[in-house]
Amino acid sequence: MRLSPFQSVALSALAALSLNVASAQCPFSLDTGAAAAIATDDGLVLSRFASGVRGSPALNNATTLSSTAEATTVSRLRRFDVDGNGVFDQTDGQIIQRHLMGFRGTALGDGGAYAVRLTPSLIEAYIAQGCPGRSMTARERASRFLTQATWGPTWSGIDTLAAAGANDAAFDAWITAQFNTPSMDSHWDYIARKGPRNCATIPEGCKAIFINATMETFWQQAAQSPDQLRQRAAFALQQIFVVSTVNSAIDIQPDAHASFLDATATNAFGNFRTLLEVVTRHPTMGHYLSHMRNEKEDPATGRTPDENYAREILQLFSIGLWELELDGTRKKDASGRDIPTYNQNDIIGLAKVFTGLSWGGGSTSEERWRGWLEGSTRWDIPLQMYPQFHSASEKKFLGTTVPALPGTLTQAQADDSLRIALDRIFNHSSTAPFISKQLIKRLVTSNPSPAYVRRVAEKFVNNGSGVRGDMKAVWRAVLMDPEARDEQRLADESFGKLREPLLRLGVWLRAFNATPSSGRFQIWNLEDPIDSLGQNPMRSPSVFNFYRPDYAPPGAILNRTAVAPEFQITHETTTTSYANFVVNTVSRGLSDLQPDYARYRANIRNASAMVDDLNVLLAYGQLTPATQKIIVDAVNAIPEGGFQWENGRVYTAIVLTMLAPEFLIQR
């Protein structure tokens, strides 16, 4: 295959980008209790760290330092970058050690290869100021906030927030406005406008073709709907309350998935207790986790209620596997062991609660229960109780008992069993920290501090007006927490999250206003392992989503007992396929969606200005000087006047920005 000039230059820059990692406070003392840095210890450890040494070997013979020295180093990496090349490396370690030993002037950096700070005097001035980190501009702060709160920043959104000050007051006002912003459409209405599925004309799989309409409406709203916080919040909830077309009874039911998308979006800003019941009674979830038409036990035949939903609502949707403190850390028993939240007997008792649910909207006849009545199988109507199929026996779970119900059950009695169960789950002490931590992970960082989790969970428990489960208060707490807004966290290696592939695509769609000529967002196949994303909406392989929330890749992250969930779908194949996808999508568009790159063509002869602009929009100003230089050099390597050189320069700048570590890791 012959590569275009753009492709050749872009690929040649990839190796340099892959080796460039973001880095980031003086004074140089690594022991927070020390009055001053100690040259022999602090300098030694910093030099080792700059050389890649970690763990106990880095602290060997450093007798004055505590075990927190490495964490302190990590939190200050950006400021330890004294030569200003964007990374903390051996040159910086050498300069710092010499400074601590008393060297000044030319002796400070003799033999060093300086970057932004080209002379010892500039380095000394930087150190004398306490090694200040660069403050973010208003536009950068706005872009970072929108990266966390939406499917991706746009220049209009950035400029509006920047004009308002891009401060906490501006962000808080934006959140309030978003709570009151309606969606552009409903997914259900979009599907309905497609008209009847003419299976007589297309007998061989009309439903399988039609399922793509749900993908269309998903991406249309993610990219264009003005209620961006709702869209982003709904996607986070959909990754917790998972339903999928994969390996399920609803593989080709577009109306089922459209209705469920609407349910999560509609209730994203409501109360968690309501959301829990909406999800439980939704026919899509009922089919996916098999509690729809779940029948009561029958001793004569040995039949027992299906336990699937009972297990997943506890493990994944509410309390998790372990008893939690309000800060998300695990409670311990008297022997110091983790305490399970439930056992098999709880599952057995709870499974009885989830019996008797089937199609809603009418009588409780067996014909409707079975779905035999014409027009009774409505995916947009909540499941209702059929008392004749609901267990009347005693139900024990989570320390709660629903007494046995003698005689002929009524629908109200069956509904009451469900109410008692959902109330118990909602009010469980682990629900607030478990859900709060999951939402922080989805929007802000994979490893929030216990204090961060506690502050959000406190708002879940009480929104300030005595209301438990107020999702507006929870979302606001997630986004406005000091830890989320702290710019110093940008330099912390333990802070942030890997952007999953779908979110990277969302950023491209919104940043460059990619618009389909057909009016339809025909983004259907994103699972190709060679040149696509390996991730598709509503196509997760299981109820555990595309990745487990506590997944930790082997190596440094696992060794630090940290997690990085999105890395579960990040490996050699998906990394290569993402690079291929970005190269192709940026240069060719996606399906019939074409982006608007006019803003960048205006700087076709000024690569630095082009990259500066993309740096703010896509990476909220976090591209290091080294990364920027790689991209600028690659752009300038495309000679003026060559074949499609204008396009090649624009494509190169965008592709390499979207492949840069500072873009891929959201902080």
CA–CA distance, 524 with 542 (Å, rounded to integer): 19
pLDDT attached to residue 202: 43
Domain that holds residue 251: 175-288
pLDDT attached to residue 394: 97
Segment 248-263 shows an average pLDDT of 91
- Work out the pLDDT band at 25, boundaries 50, 70, 90: very low
CA–CA distance, 303 with 146 (Å, rounded to integer): 52
- Give me the residue label for tokens 């192709």: 584
Q: For the whole model, what pTM was predicted?
A: 0.85
CA–CA distance, 120 with 118 (Å, rounded to integer): 7
Judgement on whether residues 241 and 345 belong to the same structural domain of the protein: no
Which residue pairs from 470-474 have beta carbons closer than 8 angstroms and sit at least 24 positions apart in sequence?
470/271, 471/233, 471/267, 471/268, 471/269, 471/270, 471/271, 471/272, 471/275, 472/179, 472/269, 474/272, 474/435, 474/436, 474/439
Q: Which of 261, 179, 177, 172 is nearest to 214 (CA)?
A: 261
- Please indicate, yes or no, if residue 2 is contained in any of the structural domains: no
Boundary-marking domain end, from 452, 467, 488: 488
- Please indicate, yes or no, if residue 15 is contained in any of the structural domains: no
Judgement on whether residues 350 and 249 belong to the same structural domain of the protein: no
Looking at 117-126, 258-267, 526-535, which range is the least confident one?
Answer: 117-126
The rounded percent of the chain whose pLDDT value lies above 90 is 68
DSSP state of 498: E
- Please indicate, yes or no, if residue 138 is contained in any of the structural domains: no
- Please indicate, yes or no, if residue 587 is contained in any of the structural domains: yes
Q: How far apart are the first and last CA of the chain?
A: 38
Boundary-marking domain end, from 427, 451, 471: 427
- Please indicate, yes or no, if residue 168 is contained in any of the structural domains: no
Boundary-marking domain end, from 71, 102, 128: 128
CA–CA distance, 656 with 12 (Å, rounded to integer): 10
Judgement on whether residues 439 and 382 belong to the same structural domain of the protein: no
pLDDT attached to residue 113: 65
Segment 282-286 shows an average pLDDT of 97
- Any idea how long the chain is? 667
Judgement on whether residues 552 and 530 belong to the same structural domain of the protein: yes
Judgement on whether residues 511 and 656 belong to the same structural domain of the protein: yes
**Cβ pair 139, 162 in contact under 8 A:** yes
If you average pLDDT over each of 109-123, 420-434, 531-545, 560-574, which comes out highest?
Answer: 420-434
- Please indicate, yes or no, if residue 134 is contained in any of the structural domains: no
Q: How many domains, the chain? A: 5
Residue 177 neighbours by CB under 8 Å, 6+ apart: none
Judgement on whether residues 414 and 446 belong to the same structural domain of the protein: no
Judgement on whether residues 348 and 386 belong to the same structural domain of the protein: yes
pLDDT attached to residue 198: 44
Judgement on whether residues 649 and 507 belong to the same structural domain of the protein: yes
Judgement on whether residues 399 and 282 belong to the same structural domain of the protein: no
Judgement on whether residues 454 and 584 belong to the same structural domain of the protein: no
Inter-CA distances, 659 with 574, 586, 618, 662, Å? 13, 12, 11, 8
What pLDDT digit, counting tens, does each position of 538-590 carry?
999 999 999 999 999 998 889 889 999 999 999 999 999 999 999 999 999 99
Judgement on whether residues 527 and 654 belong to the same structural domain of the protein: yes
Residue 335 pLDDT more than 50?
A: yes
- Please indicate, yes or no, if residue 440 is contained in any of the structural domains: yes
Judgement on whether residues 623 and 556 belong to the same structural domain of the protein: yes
- Please indicate, yes or no, if residue 11 is contained in any of the structural domains: no
What pLDDT digit, counting tens, does each position of 62-111 carry?
777 777 777 777 767 777 888 877 778 888 888 888 888 778 777 776 66
